[in-house]
């Protein structure tokens, strides 16, 4: 019988083909940047958990040497004699193997045993975590460990960091002992199913679907897509499909847009279908101009870049709170003049107060403030107002002036190249072909901006590299708001904008 890790058993639970590929064709896996970023977050939370569960530093972290788990199992057995915290203790039994994030001595005398805590960087207990913990507990008990309690610790997003390195309260525990121990029979079945899958010489059949991204983004999506017959105009380009339409399409085996009956689609979906099949863009400029005519000049065009930390870095902030560190504002005057203002703080200190002050100054007192998906900017501004009551009236006044360009684009413009998306990254080159994010050096999207910011504030980053990152971040954010100016001009038909500013 092949020994199967918890990761492999969880792969089976997502998709048998995923497990087969993990075992037989691991070189085909391509983890997305989001998946890799989530690994980094997981590591930082794991490190912090070790401090929280072992404040005196009595415990030991077992280093796992590649795929040679033997040494880890031996060290685990040695440490179990010492009754002190163990991190990454390894267990195997009945065909399963797992490593426990945290293992703590529990009970005394005849009741002496261990308590296991699984650490997750999410903010709640998802259903698949219960399966994960059940496998963990199964492997530990199958190895002979007297396991008395099992818990899952996740981030408490309502907790506020008091500063000074005090992270007590960041993790919230939920006891899963009863649930985890009761699922031993299920885990045995998963192991048997997984053994059958990995012994197959050929991969099991599993067409891609919603399970490819839930509960985890599968790293084999690229590979699996290439194995499917390629639709010329895939039905996935239809926006806002909803489960009902997806199920209808799947039930009838429809993959081509051309084969979707019109009466299954709403007006916007019909528009997308027609534009795609004819190759002709849809643009109701009169309607977009009419909609925007109520907002007079001068106008501002605003975009934020934000960062979130699972483990807060700055006092007074919460886990995963959206914290703006940069903005760009283009101001368009009545005569078409353009002025540009920007803010970027790479000092590593909390940038939100100086950013809020600079924002109030940059946006002036009147005129609409355009944003693309303005709910995001509005949320950031209101959060700043809550955090800095002395600036609240001025900040809330800015939030009141926000006007969203995204619904205007959705309602009145569609180009076949958008492939069902109204992201500004695809609308811009369609409507203004002289502009594109691809021309930017380095930072080209929000994820890239976050990575650049984190690198720039890291103490190990030297001044030259920081200067390069600063230049890239400023160029990216500036293009975001200049793109909005150009979209506004296209939607309104106004042509007398003087320059890029």
Which residues form the interface with ligand SF4 (CB under 6 A)? 14-15, 17-18, 21, 206, 208, 211-212, 218, 220-221, 224
**Could you say which DSSP state residue 238 is in?**
S
Q: 235: part of which helix (H) or strand (E)?
A: none
Chain center to CA of 19: 24
Closest approach, Cβ 220 to ligand SF4, in A, equals 4
Nearer to ligand SF4 by C-beta: 39 or 65?
39
Helix (H, G, I), strand (E, B) or coil at 261: coil
Closest approach, Cβ 250 to ligand SF4, in A, equals 14
Closest approach, Cβ 21 to ligand SF4, in A, equals 6
Nearer to ligand SF4 by C-beta: 15 or 152?
15
Tokens of 250: 């799947």
Closest approach, Cβ 17 to ligand SF4, in A, equals 4
Closest approach, Cβ 208 to ligand SF4, in A, equals 5
**Could you say which DSSP state residue 68 is in?**
B
Gap between the Cα atoms of 94 and 2, Å rounded: 10
Gap between the Cα atoms of 437 and 416, Å rounded: 18
Gap between the Cα atoms of 420 and 441, Å rounded: 27
306 neighbors 325 (Cβ within 8 angstroms): yes
Gap between the Cα atoms of 429 and 18, Å rounded: 36
Helix (H, G, I), strand (E, B) or coil at 60: strand
DSSP states of 320-357 as a string? T--EEEEEEEEEE-TTS-EEEEEEE--SSS--HHHHHH
Nearer to ligand SF4 by C-beta: 227 or 266?
227
Nearer to ligand SF4 by C-beta: 138 or 220?
220
Burial 159-177 (b: 16+ CB within 10 A, else e): bebeeeeebeebbbeeebb
The pairing of beta strand 171-175 with beta strand 147-155: antiparallel
Nearer to ligand SF4 by C-beta: 223 or 382?
223
Closest approach, Cβ 227 to ligand SF4, in A, equals 8
Nearer to ligand SF4 by C-beta: 17 or 41?
17
DSSP states of 342-397 as a string? EEE--SSS--HHHHHHHHHHHH-SSS-EEESSHHHHHHHHHHHHHH-GGGHHHHHH
Nearer to ligand SF4 by C-beta: 139 or 212?
212
Nearer to ligand SF4 by C-beta: 18 or 478?
18
Closest approach, Cβ 26 to ligand SF4, in A, equals 12
Nearer to ligand SF4 by C-beta: 221 or 308?
221
Gap between the Cα atoms of 217 and 393, Å rounded: 42
Closest approach, Cβ 304 to ligand SF4, in A, equals 34
């Amino acid at each position: 019988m092949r020994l199967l890790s918890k990761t492999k058993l969880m792969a089976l639970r997502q998709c048998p083909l995923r497990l087969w590929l993990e075992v037989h064709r691991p070189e085909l896996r391509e983890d997305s940047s989001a998946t890799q970023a989530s690994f980094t977050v997981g590591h930082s939370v794991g490190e912090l958990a070790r401090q929280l569960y072992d404040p005196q530093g009595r415990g030991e972290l077992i280093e796992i040497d590649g795929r040679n788990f033997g040494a880890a199992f031996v060290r685990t057995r040695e440490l179990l004699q010492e009754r002190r915290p163990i991190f990454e203790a390894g267990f195997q039994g009945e065909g399963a193997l797992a490593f426990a994030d945290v293992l703590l001595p529990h009970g005394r005398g005849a009741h002496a045993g261990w308590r296991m805590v699984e650490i997750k960087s999410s903010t709640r207990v998802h259903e698949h975590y219960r399966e994960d913990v059940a496998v963990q507990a199964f492997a530990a008990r199958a190895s002979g460990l007297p396991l008395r309690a099992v818990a899952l610790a996740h981030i408490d997003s309502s907790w506020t960091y008091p500063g000074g390195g005090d992270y007590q309260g960041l993790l919230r525990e939920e006891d899963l002992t009863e649930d985890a121990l009761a699922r031993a029979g299920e885990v045995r079945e998963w192991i048997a199913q997984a053994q059958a899958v990995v012994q197959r010489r050929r991969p099991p059949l599993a067409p891609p679907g919603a399970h490819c991204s839930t509960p985890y983004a599968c790293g084999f999506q690229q590979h699996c897509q290439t194995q499917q017959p390629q639709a010329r105009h895939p039905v996935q380009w239809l926006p806002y499909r909803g489960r009902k339409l997806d199920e209808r399409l799947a039930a009838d085996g429809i993959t081509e847009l051309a084969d979707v009956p019109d009466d299954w689609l709403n007006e916007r979906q019909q528009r997308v279908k027609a534009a795609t099949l004819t190759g002709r863009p849809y643009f109701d400029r009169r309607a977009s101009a009419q909609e925007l005519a109520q907002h007079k000049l001068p106008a501002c065009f605003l975009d934020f870049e934000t960062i979130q930390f699972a483990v807060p870095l700055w006092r007074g902030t919460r886990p995963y709170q959206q914290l703006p560190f940069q903005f760009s504002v283009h101001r368009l005057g009545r005569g078409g003049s353009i002025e540009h203002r920007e803010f970027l703080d790479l000092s590593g200190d909390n940038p939100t107060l100086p950013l809020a002050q600079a924002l109030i100054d940059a946006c002036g007192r009147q005129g609409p403030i355009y944003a693309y998906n303005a709910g995001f900017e509005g949320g950031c501004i209101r959060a700043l107002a809550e955090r800095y009551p002395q600036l609240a009236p001025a900040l809330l006044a800015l939030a009141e002036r926000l006007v969203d360009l995204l619904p205007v684009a959705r309602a009145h413009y569609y180009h076949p190249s958008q492939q069902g998306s109204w992201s500004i990254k695809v609308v811009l080159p369609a409507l203004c072909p002289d502009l594109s994010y691809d021309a930017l050096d380095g930072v080209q999207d929000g994820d890239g901006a976050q990575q650049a910011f984190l690198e720039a504030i890291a103490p190990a980053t030297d001044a030259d590299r920081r200067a390069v990152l600063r230049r890239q971040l400023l160029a990216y954010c500036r293009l975001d708001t200049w793109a909005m100016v150009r979209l506004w001009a296209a939607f309104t038909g106004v042509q007398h904008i003087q320059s890029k500013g």
